[in-house]
Structure formats: structure tokens, C-alpha cells
A and B are shown apart, each in its own frame.
Chain A
């Protein structure tokens, strides 16, 4: 069952087109990724869904019903974790949760229960009394997400929740989100890290300058790429003669201090290893990679996902 559908959403800021005819539909219980570079329009989409911005044209439906920013029942189904930390810095984690919980309409026992739950999710039970301004970047991020979970929404919108977070905290966030998904929550997740999209998302929309370029599962998206591998090597490990013979396996491009080779259709791994042996090279100096979303983005737009 689809829980959220967007049809031909358009939004411009002055002369900037932030969204252009954006259409998508999100299945209930899925982990939906919005993958795109800076300025792609990810936040604009999130902010329209959450009711902060109004689209210029196009429609949005939540569970088949037109989304209305003044409909309080609809808003209770959605939780937004904004891209920028939106917390009262002077107040403690607990007070923040309390105030925002009240805004979601919680009170009494239910409110205190949800505060405990959110503190647990954010792993901040021990620091509940500390003001947010004393938290590390990762702690703030976790609390920023936890606030959006206070009312157990049906759909959680996470706008780049891992920016500026160390790998360990990042993994903790991933685990939390994945377990929320296990519980049946629909998660809409925006990022410009293709690794995150690959690791987490069931469905991925690749978005650039306000337009959706492709939507699909990771596998269907990657099928679009020619069936080739990428072989990377440090320039220093090859001499001039090696490089010439290396290029018989495919097209070589120089990227800084490394060489990148996109293999030909008839590439055989066995003949490549034989070649390294013949040349007296160490095979472990070469990295062989499967094509990624990064490559797909490059393929679709001619530019890198990350500038």
C-alpha cells in the first residue's frame, strides 16, 4: 500500500527551481532514499511534506488523502528530523523532548513514557539533564531524530541525519532507523552519500536540480549501467610500459594519483591476474570494484555526486 504520493510537485524560490515536476510514491513500511547532491531539492521536498513550505503546484497525498498543512490529524502521522539541528540549545534534552512532545499533543503518563523512549533511542538517558549546547555533534543529531519520534509517527522524514557524525554514531543511527523500519515505520531518508542509500534503502530516487532522474531498487538501478567493473591502481605502481598494456582491458582515466580502468565487455578476471603475474606486479595493488550508484549518477548527469 502506498502511504505517500507526490504528483508533479513544483517549487521555485525567486528564480531558482527547487523542484520540477517531482512525482513519486512511497510504500508503507519501506525505507525510501532520496539521493542527490547539494541543492538537488531534497530538503525542499521534505519541508513541503512536513507542511513548512507550500508547493507552487502539484499535489501530495497521505494515505490517499490530500495533504493539508492545517490538518492536525495528518500532521500527527508525520515526524520530521530537520537537516539542521532544531533544538532549544539552552534547554536540557529532557525539556526539549517534553516541550515538543506537548506540541504533538502528548501529556501525562503517555508524555513521560515517550520521553523515556526517545532518550533511549538517542542513547542520552544519562545526559538527560544536560543542556543541548553541551552535547557533541553526534549527540545533538541523535536527539534531533529522537524528537521526531516522540509521537511514534507513521512516516519519519530524515533530512541528512548523519552530517558531521563519526562512523560509530552513524552506525548507531542506522541501527535505530532499521529497527524502526522493522516495527513497521515508513522512513524517508535524504542523503548525498551513496553508501548510505545502498546500505539502507529499499527504494532509491536519484534526484538532481529538482528532478527525479531514476527511481527503483538498488539492483534495478544498477542494471542500467553497462556490465563493467572498475579497476583502480596507484599510478606509482605502474610504469609506462605497464600502463600501455593495462589499457588493453578497457578505458583508462587518470584521477589524481590513481588510475581508473573501466573494463571492456569481454573482460575476464583470470586473464587480468595472468597479466599481473607476467608483468611482475602485485595483484593486491589493484582494487576491483562493482559499479555503484556513484557511477550511475556520473552516467546519468555527467558529474560526480560529491563535488
Chain B
């Protein structure tokens, strides 16, 4: 034990002697989180994209109902609507079929929507829209798709009203249909004193009612629009109750930061495991082992040192994210600290194992980079595991990254207490113990001490 503490003290003395190392220890987490944070924060709900997505829209049908649909898209915060093409001499001219397509070819935008002349299906109830895209960015494409669907659904009544009338007419036959509307209008007129039968009759049918309630009703202006959307929103009402992360200022970054912390820990500890090779090459191991110290003492002292350094760096990373991006770190600091101890212990064990099975520091770095990148991808450090297929989700659970990410999510997103984190911490501890046991065995027999 004494030998371990002396060797640990030695590592700290060496560390504090190296001013550059100290600065890097604290600066690197800041840089990492600054870059990651800028990618994943800022734009609120649009999935972490800081600027709006351009969507070109062209109403070829000239239909008024189709215009309200485009208007609805324009109201989306994440969409920047483009509605005309550049003409000659810096002027803008309305889109044509050709020019809207050219815009994608010329990389002015990646998505375009055409509402074609016969956008209402003739033989059936439904819409036919044309969507042109260059889905370079998967997330953007999904977001745009989602937003178009949303607009379609909210404007569906306006778009389909005429079609529904036609459909009904067809089903009932012209005569019966007119009789039905006549009767209905008469009934309404009877119920109210101050309306004329002709007025009501004119507005019977889906189209008429929709028009009555829609923003194109010029007499009602703004009020009409409000009324309309209130009416349609009223049809389906969602009671939203977000259970976790409701009040977070920076939800996307908060979700991602755990993964980046784990990846950071892995890279940091494999880097410092390479210092084992340095000491070996300097002949320091020979000297230490000629003294009353054992190989396992060297292993444990390095292990402790790197784990402590890892915890320091992880906490620095979280505190940096709090200062730079308002991630709510401080209320959860005790839990984050405890998770960081377990995560760092597991990551360092990984680094030690790597050092113990490699013959040169270059090998350790090479294996390390390969394993870290694949584990991070599989374990959900880069994107949520739920986006992957079921097999991949199971494979992901065999990585230490997965358990680290889960533990950090628990501490930061669900704001769980330590008790709720225990299962994750237990798995991390088991991983650490398993890896370090193999490393210790390899240290006793391996190449590091030749």
C-alpha cells in the first residue's frame, strides 16, 4: 500500500511539474464541450440545428386552399420558406417547375415542395404533392418531412373540403345530395332568427363551412384565422406531460453530453496509459521492481492516478457545459461526481488493459482509437441507441460506453438520486473490475516488463 501511495505521489509530482499538462487537463474539456455544445445547442426543438432549414414551395395549382397550406409551412420556426427564384438583374421571379428544381441543383436549398395542378386526386380522396430533395443531411430531411406532414394534417380540411363534397355527391347522387343540403339549410334557418335561408344554403357543404371558418374569409381577417386554427386544433387535443427534462434550458446538449464525457474519458485514459510505456523505456520499471515494490503496485498506482485525473476532467467538462451552455450541472453535481468516479474507473481499466496487451505505445493508441470509436458508436455516445435496430441495441449493451451514457443520463436528465443510479453504477463497477483483473494478469505475464 505504501509503495502504491509513493508511486501515486510520484505521478502527481510529475503532473504538477508539467505546466502544459495541467493547462491541457482543464482546457481540453472546455474546448471539447465548446465544440460539441455549439453543434447540439441553440436551436431549441429543431433537433439541434442552429440555423433554419430552407424549403422552396411552389403552388402550381394556384388554388387558394393550397396557399393556406404553404402559409402554414411558413409559420414553422424551423423552416425558412423560399417562394421565388432569382430572375435577371437581381430581381426575383415566381417559381416555375423548372426553376424550383434548378434551385436544388444549384444548392440554393435542399428541399422543395410543388403543389401540382391536379393536386387533389380525382378518383379518390387524397392529395398528391411533389417533394424534391437532396437529403444530404438525414436529420434535416426527417425534420422537413415531419413538418410537411404536420402542415398537411392541420390544413387537411381546407385542402380536402371540395373533394369531400364531390365524394358525398357521388355517393348520394346529385338529387339526393341537393335535397339533403336544402333540408339542412332550412333546419339551420329555422333555428336562428337573424339569418337568411339563401345565405346559409350557399355555404352548405364542407367547402362552404371551411371557407366560413378559414382565414381566406376576408371579412373576418385576423379573427377568422384565429378562429379557424382554434377550431381545427380543437378537434384533436394533446395533453402534453413531459415527465423528464421538462424545464431544461438545453435539452439536446444535456442528452448528448454524457456520451461525450465517456468518450472523452476513454481517449484521455488511453493516452495516459501510454505513459506506462514511457516509464518502461526509461528503465524506471527495472529500478522500481528492484526495490520493495511489485508489478501490481505499479499497475494500481497508475490506475488510481488516471482514474482521479479522469474524474477531474469529466467534472471540468460538466462545469464547462454549465458555464458555456447553461446545462444544469450544479444541482446534480453530487450524482455527476459519483457517476464520474465509476465511469472513470471503468474507462481507466480499459486503458490499462490496452496497455497490458500492447507491445508498443503506438499499438495501444491504434487499438484504442479503433475500439473507442466503435464502442462510442455502438454504445450510444453519438446518437441515441433507440435509433438503431434491435440487434444493434443489444450489442450496444455490451459496451462500457452504453452503461456510462445511461448513468450520466440518469444523473443529468432524469435527475435521479444515487439509489436509482445504483444498477448502472453496479454494471460500471463490474466492468471496471473485470477489465482490471485481466490487465493485472497480463501485467504479471506480459511484455510490459521485459
**For the complex, what is the distance from the CA of A80 to the CA of B449, rounded to whole Å?**
16
Are the C-beta atoms of A103 and B13 separated by less than 8 Å?
Answer: no
Are the C-beta atoms of B289 and A52 separated by less than 8 Å?
Answer: yes
Question: A72 on the interface (CB 8 Å rule)?
Answer: yes
Which of chain A's residues have a CB closer than 8 A to the CB of B13? 91, 95, 99
**For the complex, what is the distance from the CA of A273 to the CA of B103, rounded to whole Å?**
110
Are the C-beta atoms of A104 and B291 separated by less than 8 Å?
Answer: yes
Are the C-beta atoms of A52 and B292 separated by less than 8 Å?
Answer: no
Question: B287 on the interface (CB 8 Å rule)?
Answer: yes
**For the complex, what is the distance from the CA of A157 to the CA of B291, rounded to whole Å?**
12
**For the complex, what is the distance from the CA of A95 to the CA of B66, rounded to whole Å?**
81
Q: A52-B449, A90-B18, A91-B14 are in contact. Are A104 and B283 (CB under 8 A)?
A: no
**For the complex, what is the distance from the CA of A84 to the CA of B6, rounded to whole Å?**
23
Q: A90-B18, A91-B14 are in contact. Are A103 and B286 (CB under 8 A)?
A: no
Which of chain B's residues have a CB closer than 8 A to the CB of A100? 287, 291
**For the complex, what is the distance from the CA of A100 to the CA of B288, rounded to whole Å?**
8
Question: B284 on the interface (CB 8 Å rule)?
Answer: yes
Q: Taking the nearest CB of chain B, how far is it from the CB of A190, in angstroms? A: 14
**For the complex, what is the distance from the CA of A47 to the CA of B286, rounded to whole Å?**
8
Question: B391 on the interface (CB 8 Å rule)?
Answer: no
Looking at the complex, which one of B2, B17, B18, B290 makes contact with A52 (CB distance below 8 Å)?
A: B290
Are the C-beta atoms of B294 and A86 separated by less than 8 Å?
Answer: no
Q: Taking the nearest CB of chain B, how far is it from the CB of A67, in angstroms? A: 12
Q: Taking the nearest CB of chain B, how far is it from the CB of A106, in angstroms? A: 10
**For the complex, what is the distance from the CA of A100 to the CA of B9, rounded to whole Å?**
11
**For the complex, what is the distance from the CA of A69 to the CA of B289, rounded to whole Å?**
9
Q: A80-B287, A103-B293 are in contact. Are A90 and B17 (CB under 8 A)?
A: yes
Are the C-beta atoms of A82 and B286 separated by less than 8 Å?
Answer: yes
Question: B282 on the interface (CB 8 Å rule)?
Answer: yes
Which of chain B's residues have a CB closer than 8 A to the CB of A72? 292
Q: A52-B449, A91-B17, A102-B6 are in contact. Are A82 and B292 (CB under 8 A)?
A: no
Select the residue from B282, B286, B449 with max chain A CB neighbours within 10 A.
Answer: B286
Question: A70 on the interface (CB 8 Å rule)?
Answer: yes
Question: A181 on the interface (CB 8 Å rule)?
Answer: no
Q: A90-B14, A99-B9 are in contact. Are A50 and B2 (CB under 8 A)?
A: no
Question: B10 on the interface (CB 8 Å rule)?
Answer: yes
Question: B304 on the interface (CB 8 Å rule)?
Answer: no
Question: B285 on the interface (CB 8 Å rule)?
Answer: yes
**Quick one: closest A residue to B287, CB to CB?**
A86
Which of chain A's residues have a CB closer than 8 A to the CB of B141? none
Looking at the complex, which one of B6, B14, B283 makes contact with A86 (CB distance below 8 Å)?
A: B283
Question: B3 on the interface (CB 8 Å rule)?
Answer: yes
Are the C-beta atoms of A84 and B292 separated by less than 8 Å?
Answer: no
Question: A212 on the interface (CB 8 Å rule)?
Answer: no
Q: Taking the nearest CB of chain A, how far is it from the CB of B16, in angstroms? A: 11
**Quick one: closest A residue to B449, CB to CB?**
A52
Are the C-beta atoms of B283 and A85 separated by less than 8 Å?
Answer: yes
On chain A, the number of residues with a Cβ less than 8 Å from chain B's Cβ atoms is 34
**For the complex, what is the distance from the CA of A144 to the CA of B14, rounded to whole Å?**
19
Question: A250 on the interface (CB 8 Å rule)?
Answer: no
**For the complex, what is the distance from the CA of A300 to the CA of B449, rounded to whole Å?**
35
Which of chain A's residues have a CB closer than 8 A to the CB of B283? 82-86
Which of chain A's residues have a CB closer than 8 A to the CB of B286? 47, 50, 52, 80, 82, 86
Which of chain A's residues have a CB closer than 8 A to the CB of B450? 13, 53
**For the complex, what is the distance from the CA of A63 to the CA of B3, rounded to whole Å?**
25
Which of chain B's residues have a CB closer than 8 A to the CB of A52? 285-286, 289-290, 449
Interface residues of B in 103-125 (CB under 8 A from A): none
Looking at the complex, which one of B7, B284, B290 makes contact with A51 (CB distance below 8 Å)?
A: B290
Question: A78 on the interface (CB 8 Å rule)?
Answer: yes
Are the C-beta atoms of B291 and A75 separated by less than 8 Å?
Answer: yes
Interface residues of B in 282-338 (CB under 8 A from A): 282-294
Question: A216 on the interface (CB 8 Å rule)?
Answer: no
Question: A105 on the interface (CB 8 Å rule)?
Answer: yes
**For the complex, what is the distance from the CA of A85 to the CA of B6, rounded to whole Å?**
20
Which of chain A's residues have a CB closer than 8 A to the CB of B6? 99, 102-103
Are the C-beta atoms of B289 and A51 separated by less than 8 Å?
Answer: yes
**For the complex, what is the distance from the CA of A147 to the CA of B284, rounded to whole Å?**
12
Which of chain A's residues have a CB closer than 8 A to the CB of B17? 90-91
Looking at the complex, which one of A53, A78, A103 makes contact with B288 (CB distance below 8 Å)?
A: A103
**For the complex, what is the distance from the CA of A157 to the CA of B292, rounded to whole Å?**
15
**Quick one: closest B residue to A95, CB to CB?**
B13
**For the complex, what is the distance from the CA of A188 to the CA of B83, rounded to whole Å?**
91
Q: Taking the nearest CB of chain B, how far is it from the CB of A115, in angstroms? A: 14
**Quick one: closest A residue to B5, CB to CB?**
A102
**For the complex, what is the distance from the CA of A148 to the CA of B288, rounded to whole Å?**
11
Are the C-beta atoms of A80 and B292 separated by less than 8 Å?
Answer: no
**For the complex, what is the distance from the CA of A13 to the CA of B447, rounded to whole Å?**
12
Question: A272 on the interface (CB 8 Å rule)?
Answer: no
Which of chain B's residues have a CB closer than 8 A to the CB of A79? 290
Are the C-beta atoms of A78 and B14 separated by less than 8 Å?
Answer: no
Q: Taking the nearest CB of chain A, how far is it from the CB of B87, in angstroms? A: 69
Which of chain B's residues have a CB closer than 8 A to the CB of A80? 286-287, 290
**For the complex, what is the distance from the CA of A220 to the CA of B47, rounded to whole Å?**
89
**Quick one: closest B residue to A71, CB to CB?**
B292
**For the complex, what is the distance from the CA of A99 to the CA of B293, rounded to whole Å?**
12
Are the C-beta atoms of A75 and B287 separated by less than 8 Å?
Answer: no
Are the C-beta atoms of A86 and B284 separated by less than 8 Å?
Answer: yes
Which of chain A's residues have a CB closer than 8 A to the CB of B14? 88, 90-91
Select the residue from A52, A76, A78, A91 with max chain B CB neighbours within 10 A.
Answer: A52
Looking at the complex, which one of A50, A89, A95, A102 makes contact with B290 (CB distance below 8 Å)?
A: A50
Q: Can you show 15 pairs from A to B with CB atoms below 8 A apart? A: A50-B289, A52-B285, A75-B290, A75-B291, A75-B292, A76-B292, A79-B290, A86-B284, A90-B18, A91-B13, A95-B13, A99-B6, A100-B291, A102-B2, A148-B290
Please name the 5 residue pairs, one residue from A and one from B, whose CB atoms are nearest each other, closest first. A50-B290, A80-B290, A86-B283, A86-B287, A72-B292
Q: Which residues of B contact A (CB under 8 A)?
A: 2-3, 6-7, 9-10, 13-14, 17-18, 282-294, 449-450
Given contacts A80-B286, A86-B286, A105-B292, 7 further A-B contacts (CB under 8 A): A72-B292, A80-B287, A83-B283, A88-B14, A95-B13, A102-B2, A103-B288
